[in-house]
Amino acid sequence: MKVRTDRIKEMAAAAAADQGLHQTLLAAAGRFRQLRQGGVAAFDDLEKARDQGRRVKERCLAELDRLLPRLEKQVRAAGGRVHWARDAAAARAIILGLARARGVKRVVKGKSMMSEEVGLNQALEQDGLEVFETDLGEYIVQLAQESPSHILAPAIHKNKQEIAALFADKLGVDYTDDPEELTRIARRVLRQKFLQADMGITGGNFAIAESGTLALFENEGNIRMSTTLPRLHVALIGIEKVVETYRDFDVLRKLLTISATGQKLSTYLSLITGPRRDGELEGPDEFHLVLLDNGRSRILADPLLRQSLYCLRCGACLNVCPVYQCIGGHSYGWVYSGPIGCLLNTQLLPRGQGGPAPFACTLCGACAAVCPVKIDHPKVMLHLRWLMAEDPAWPLPRPPAARLGLSLYAWLATRPAGFRSASALARLLAPIAAPGGKARLTPPAISRWGRTRRLPRWQRPFSQRWPGLRRRLGNREEPS
Amino acid sequence: MSDPAREAIVQAVSAAVGRGQPTRSDPDTGPSQVAWLPPEEDWEAAAASLQALGDELLVIKGRQELAAALGEITARHQVKRAVRWDHRLLRRLDIDRLLAEQSVDCAAIAGEQDLRSLAAEAELGVTALDALVVSTGTLVMRGGRGRERAVSLLPEVHLALVTPDRRLRAIKDLVPLWQQWRSEPGGPPGSVTLVTGHSRTADIELILVSGVHGPKYIYVLALEFPWDD
């Protein structure tokens, strides 16, 4: 997938100005929040479950060097093969190599953010393979030659009329904007693809080390098709998806579905351990698990950033994020969007390429409040800002005047007498510089910054104002 | 095992988590007891869960009721062809004959190609459950020879039979069952499928549509009679 993270500003401005998109995003996020809320209301002690989930991820990542070989051993014992990919190019090469060696012509895919991350579709198509996304939303997005805009609802940015026109154009069917009918058309078209495909490619929600089992959640059935019908199944997962036991898996699976759609369990959960066994009539002849690092071991090394890898990809943080709801998924410029996207894009892409997304955050904390594994997005976001500001590899605006201003502030803030004098001066000048609290006379170096911000009203310190406030409050009656 | 990428990743992870050399212990979590519900418990909770998902559980008290239920379901969905698991429960109930009485062709699966074409053409797939989770209405099916996944996936209607001794209260109660299967000879089953409701999507404007890729209708027949006579 093309990296356009450096264009977040212009893409966000365009998206924010698109009223139709804005309404769609608000409605979608609202609906997902409602679904989650419904599930959470019936959930027994969510806080306890979130703490448990956090602990499971903490432990499994702390033990990851032990769990990865254990998973490998179990997958091999079940007749599967494990491949290790250090980066996106290696993952593409492994999967392309498998496809070439086995004469694969047609590929069906289950929804996978990982495959977007490594740019798999383009690589397979360039090699002459026919690749079909089979999740309905992904299929729509693929037909439109776009990219997904939401982890759970990839085509959420398109309305039914657009989809109807797309189907009529690309599939040669009669125009209909009835979702039921559009779904039936997709079912008919994709059913043939499933039956003809040589290779099924999926991601994986979890990999259970104690049994070598891949766990896949879905509501449509396309992942079941992709893992049952083709003679080859390739699953591509990040190394952070490994959990140790069935019990760990059980803790996380309930958090995942409740947080995503409010479901106690998704319609389908497939637990896959290796390829078909001797004498069986179905299932792939070969099962390949590709374990991708692609920067994850680097993230793992930082104790604060590590929590970015706890993410279960439930999408709950997107649906509460005021920024995401305004600018949509595409504005983030790469695979992941919303609060978790700000964290992952910045860290997974090569240093200096992840773009300024962590700065496009209000730090309101709504994401952290709903995260099923208690990722503290704002804290990580601030840490990333600091890292980026300190590292010249990031193309951030660093005007000398701003640097000078911050140094001056740092100097003043550590000298109480100087700070008091400066504050008194600011109070005196405020009515002229910022009438009504709106900055007017901002110096050119920070004028862009000042354009979208209101300056605070300069007042005497609270400690000095308190005696007067207390007298005024004391005159009121105490609430009974 | 001399894959340089493997060594590099494991070493990088090991260094990241602050360990010198990866430890290689394999702590085993042995299976605990599976908490099957008592067979005499009623089916109300399970029926309510399935109903909430838009599906149906029918309690069947005898062979005549079974024949009647099959007749009603096959008529409702205009079933002409069915495909089924080669499962002891289904053989003992003589499902093929009961379906034939409804003019439904239910041929045995001979081989791989046969399975694909039969499952792709059949309107009805018949399976037997390894477990039914009553609080969520979840159907649990282990894959294998005679227990093909395609049977519960390709046809538009899925009919699952379950006996009173195969019920669990909650999803978490499946953990000991998975552990038990894992410790059996041959290790964990190649596939275990959990089905909670019929296939659905809301990918177009978040409008819920049933039956995207998998079955649109699910019926669970709860067998409350001695079928093994």
Encode pLDDT of B185-219 as tens digits.
989 999 999 999 999 999 998 899 999 999 999 99
Cα A85 to Cα A292: distance, rounded to the nearest angstrom: 5
Grade residue A478 by pLDDT with cuts at 50, 70 and 90.
low
Mean pLDDT of chain A: 92
Facing residues of B124 across strands?
B82, B157
Whether the Cβ atoms of residue B31 and residue B188 lie closer than 8 Å to each other:
no
Chain A residues touching B112 at Cβ < 8 A: 281-282
- Say if B69 falls within a structural domain: yes
In degrees, rounded to 5, the angle at the alpha carbon of residue A238 between the alpha carbons of residues A113 and B196 is 60
Cβ <8 Å between B178 and A276: no
Domain that holds residue A354: 1-42+315-396
- Say if A141 falls within a structural domain: yes
Cα A377 to Cα A413: distance, rounded to the nearest angstrom: 28
Residue A10 has pLDDT above 80, yes or no: yes
Residue B34 has pLDDT above 80, yes or no: yes
CATH number of the domain that residue B127 is part of: 3.40.50.10420
Q: Is there a single domain that holds both residue A69 and residue A152?
A: yes
Cβ <8 Å between B145 and A225: no
Chain B residues touching A72 at Cβ < 8 A: 6
Cα distances from A450 to residues A225, A299, A420, A437, in angstroms, run 54, 34, 24, 12
Nearest-CB residue to B194 (from A154, A245, A269):
A269
Nearest-CB residue to B195 (from A65, A246, A267):
A267
Q: Is there a single domain that holds both residue A120 and residue A232?
A: yes
Assess: ipTM above 0.90: yes
Residue B229 has pLDDT above 80, yes or no: no
Residue A413 has pLDDT above 70, yes or no: yes
Nearest-CB residue to B213 (from A213, A225, A270):
A225
Grade residue A332 by pLDDT with cuts at 50, 70 and 90.
very high
Grade residue B137 by pLDDT with cuts at 50, 70 and 90.
very high
Q: b/e string for B163-177 if b means 16 or more Cβ within 10 A?
A: bbebbbeebbbbbbb
Cα A87 to Cα B214: distance, rounded to the nearest angstrom: 35
Is A415 buried (19+), middle (13-18) or exposed (0-12) by CB count in 10 A?
exposed
Number of domains in chain B: 1
SS3 at position B80: coil
> Looking at CA atoms only, how far is residue A464 from chain B in angstroms?
50
B167-168 vs B157-162, strand pairing mode: unpaired
Q: Is there a single domain that holds both residue A274 and residue A157?
A: yes
Q: What is the average per-residue pLDDT within A44-49?
A: 94
Cα B28 to Cα A98: distance, rounded to the nearest angstrom: 34
Residue in A57, A239, A234, A244 with CA at minimum distance from that of residue B9 = A239
Cβ <8 Å between B115 and A282: yes
Chain A residues touching B195 at Cβ < 8 A: 267-268
Residue in A282, A73, A183, A192 with CA at minimum distance from that of residue B141 = A282
B contact test, residue of A24, A32, A133, A220 with most B CBs within 10 A: A220
- Say if A479 falls within a structural domain: no
Q: Is there a single domain that holds both residue A243 and residue A383?
A: no
Whole-number pLDDT of residue A244 = 97
CATH number of the domain that residue A181 is part of: 3.40.50.10420
Residue in A350, A115, A100 with CA at minimum distance from that of residue A226 = A115
Whole-number pLDDT of residue B108 = 74
Q: Is there a single domain that holds both residue A178 and residue A213?
A: yes
Whether the Cβ atoms of residue A106 and residue A196 lie closer than 8 Å to each other:
yes
pLDDT tens for each residue of A86-139: 999 999 999 999 999 999 999 999 989 999 999 999 999 999 999 999 999 999
Whole-number pLDDT of residue A435 = 65
- Say if A323 falls within a structural domain: yes
Chain B residues touching A270 at Cβ < 8 A: 191-194
Cα A256 to Cα A244: distance, rounded to the nearest angstrom: 17
Chain A residues touching B197 at Cβ < 8 A: 267
Q: Is there a single domain that holds both residue A269 and residue A380?
A: no
Residue in A294, A234, A236, A289 with CA at minimum distance from that of residue A88 = A294
- Say if A248 falls within a structural domain: yes
Number of domains in chain A: 3
Cα A420 to Cα A56: distance, rounded to the nearest angstrom: 50
Whole-number pLDDT of residue A405 = 83
**Which residues are within 8 A (CB) of A14 and not within 5 positions of it... i.e. 6 or more apart?**
A331
Q: Is there a single domain that holds both residue A384 and residue A447?
A: no
Whether the Cβ atoms of residue A366 and residue A378 lie closer than 8 Å to each other:
no
Residue A200 has pLDDT above 50, yes or no: yes
- Say if B29 falls within a structural domain: no
Q: Is there a single domain that holds both residue A30 and residue A72?
A: no
Domain that holds residue B81: 41-223
DSSP A37-75: HHHHHTSS-HHHHHHHHHHHHHHHHHTHHHHHHHHHHHH
- Say if A31 falls within a structural domain: yes
SS3 at position A243: strand
Q: Is there a single domain that holds both residue A8 and residue A102?
A: no
- Say if B165 falls within a structural domain: yes
Cβ <8 Å between A283 and B29: no
DSSP A276-300: PPTT-SSS-SEEEEEEE-TTHHHHH
Cα B30 to Cα A135: distance, rounded to the nearest angstrom: 37
- Say if A308 falls within a structural domain: no
- Say if B35 falls within a structural domain: no
- Say if B229 falls within a structural domain: no
Radius of gyration of chain A (CA): 26
- Say if B34 falls within a structural domain: no
Helix locations, A102-217, DSSP H: 113-118, 120-126, 136-143, 160-171, 179-196
Chain B residues touching A282 at Cβ < 8 A: 112, 115-116, 148-150
Q: Is there a single domain that holds both residue A168 and residue A276?
A: yes
pLDDT tens for each residue of A290-324: 999 999 999 999 999 999 999 999 999 999 999 99
- Say if A465 falls within a structural domain: no
Q: b/e string for A310-322 if b means 16 or more Cβ within 10 A?
A: bbbbbbbbbbbbe
- Say if B182 falls within a structural domain: yes
Chain mean position to CA B172: 17
Is B2 buried (19+), middle (13-18) or exposed (0-12) by CB count in 10 A?
exposed
Cα A206 to Cα A213: distance, rounded to the nearest angstrom: 8
Residue A266 has pLDDT above 90, yes or no: yes
> Looking at CA atoms only, how far is residue A458 from chain B in angstroms?
47
Q: Is there a single domain that holds both residue A356 and residue A408?
A: no
- Say if A310 falls within a structural domain: no
Whole-number pLDDT of residue B2 = 77
Q: Is there a single domain that holds both residue A407 and residue A375?
A: no
Cα A22 to Cα A452: distance, rounded to the nearest angstrom: 20
A213-218 vs A206-208, strand pairing mode: antiparallel
Residue in B155, B145, B154 with CA at minimum distance from that of residue B190 = B145
Give the chain A residue nearest B2 (alpha carbons): A84
Phi-psi domain of A177 (left: phi exceeds 0; alpha: psi -120 through 50; beta: other) = alpha
H or E segment and range at residue B193: strand B191-196
